[in-house]
Structure 1
């Protein structure tokens, strides 16, 4: 559900990134209490059309009894309508439609050892995860391995430095710059799979890490996962969130032709309906023709907002960068990427 929230702060982080904070009125405090790592979807109408973009919450989760803070990091994307608007026009006092927090790239604070490999704006949800964990759980440790192009392009430098100062014995920071040499630390270059496989065991006891959080561009996330799997880390301890997919290299499955006359039955907010699936459209597009309130954001298989349970029938997803293998094994699909392979399909958005 979307709510109009007023912008209370716009902070310039780098030449191409800002942090935007929204004021949450008391009656919406419970709706906007987030679990560390979750995101919100922002909505804007331009030239009669609707633009939705998903951004992770970078603020720590509010302690019990405290007011929730909704602060997101936004980096400029070439040709991106919403990010351009956020960096060049969005101002304190503006109203923006904000969806309640969603997402499963999360960590409920608990004792243990945790680590993250992030690239660029992938720091955003991990900053919330690490800050909340270290503040609320004295028995937790966190190692952050971050990759950025240059020091000037690095988001949330002050916030990460504050964690290092506040928790020197429990927070470990490793920074790699891909296009700039550092005076100290690791040599420059990309954090690819071979480099990570050699680097990670030298930094920390890989086998003792209770949870790995990988966030950033598709290439970095895939390389980090392959490195960890090669080091013997079980899949259940690896959590991923992709922030960017290079359209030129991302594999896309070509969906088989839908059976003529396929129908979709979908349940959303307790109400069900049945509609004919038109040729070439995704199941999300079928629902949106009748239900404008169907959940979605990126429509690219990345954010996971349109996650739904496949009650019956058979579908094929064109791409999936949002659902974990255990979710797909349990029957969940991305409606924006799903096409019917059976005459009848039923989805449940409420599960």
Structure 2
């Protein structure tokens, strides 16, 4: 369900990025109380056309009785309808509709050592995670390895500097710039697999890290995951969120059958040659109500549901945000792309409805699981 929220502030944080704060009415405080690392799905009409986007919350998570603070970072994307509007026209007093915070790229504060590798706007959810963790848990430490093009293009510089000042013994920051040399610190260059494999053991005891958080463009996340595999980090300690996929022509992510194991969908492979049946019926459960409909013209499961249920959850439709996550109750599907679900989720039977196509005559999914 979407709720109208008033824009309380629009702050220019780089030449191509803004931070937008939404005001939360008293009646909706518990609805919009978020876990650090979650995101908002927003809806707005631009030139009469409905636009939906997903933006991570950068603000620390507030505990009752303090009201929740909803602040998101938006970076301009070439051709991006909402990001262009946010940077050029969005103003205080405007109203934007938003769903309750969602997402599983999260960390509930607890003692331990945690680390993140981010690039670009990937800092956004990690800023919320680190700020909340360090404020609530005195026995926690956090190491942030971040990459960006230049100092001028780096989002939330002041907020990260504030964490260094407030927690000098518990927050460790390492910055790499790809297009600018620094007076001190790492030489210029991207944070790729080879560099991270050598760098991470020099920064912290890799085996002692309780949780890794990787966020940013797909290339960065893929390289960081590969580096951690090389360093023998347990897969269960690695969490990822992809903000931008450079190659839209990624091969299919694999086949998932109800009750079976699916491959790690960030690695191309699986059912590249699988045929979609000529006729298939989808049964979907959403908000406690179920319906069955034919899948037409090679449509995805999400497109099939949306023709009958306008309240079906989605944002990006690109396999990135995870908003359309559903449990595969029956049948078998092919997911074309998956950059949102982690391996344990696909292994448990969850799929992305926007990327899934039936491979059996009958398929059933449940959005409520």
CA–CA separation in structure 2 for the residues paired with 1:331 and 1:324: 11
| Alignment correspondent of 2:268 | none
| Alignment correspondent of 2:158 | 158
Per-residue CA distance 1:161-187 (angstroms, 9 max, x = gap)? 000000000000000000000000000
Structure 2 residue corresponding to 1:330, chosen from 336, 342, 348: 348
1:255 Cα deviation from its structure 2 partner: 6.9
CA–CA separation in structure 2 for the residues paired with 1:255 and 1:26: 53
1:44 Cα deviation from its structure 2 partner: 1.5
Matched, 1:264 2:276: no
CA RMSD, 1 decimal: 1.0
| Alignment correspondent of 2:181 | 181
| Alignment correspondent of 2:26 | 26
2:71 alignment partner, SS class: strand
The 5 Å alignment of 1:131-146 reads: 131-146=131-146
CA–CA separation in structure 1 for the residues paired with 2:88 and 2:46: 15
Per-residue CA distance 1:263-310 (angstroms, 9 max, x = gap)? 000000001111100021100000000000000000000000000000
CA–CA separation in structure 2 for the residues paired with 1:258 and 1:181: 51
Structure 2 residue corresponding to 1:309, chosen from 296, 316, 327: 327
| Alignment correspondent of 1:320 | 338
1:257 Cα deviation from its structure 2 partner: 3.5
| Alignment correspondent of 1:118 | 118
The 5 Å alignment of 1:10-159 reads: 10-159=10-159
Cα 1:204–1:101 change in 2 (3 A) is same
2:87 alignment partner, SS class: helix
Judge conservation of contact 2:252–2:335 (CA < 8 Å) in 1.
Answer: no
Judge conservation of contact 1:300–1:337 (CA < 8 Å) in 2.
Answer: yes
CA–CA separation in structure 1 for the residues paired with 2:224 and 2:332: 32
CA–CA separation in structure 2 for the residues paired with 1:324 and 1:42: 23
Judge conservation of contact 1:255–1:316 (CA < 8 Å) in 2.
Answer: no
Matched, 1:295 2:321: no
Give the 4+ runs in structure 1 shifted more than 6 A.
Answer: none
1:251 Cα deviation from its structure 2 partner: 3.2
2:307 alignment partner, SS class: helix
Unaligned runs of 5+ in 2: 254-271
TM-score computed with the length of structure 1 as normaliser: 0.98
Equivalent pairs counted in the alignment come to 351
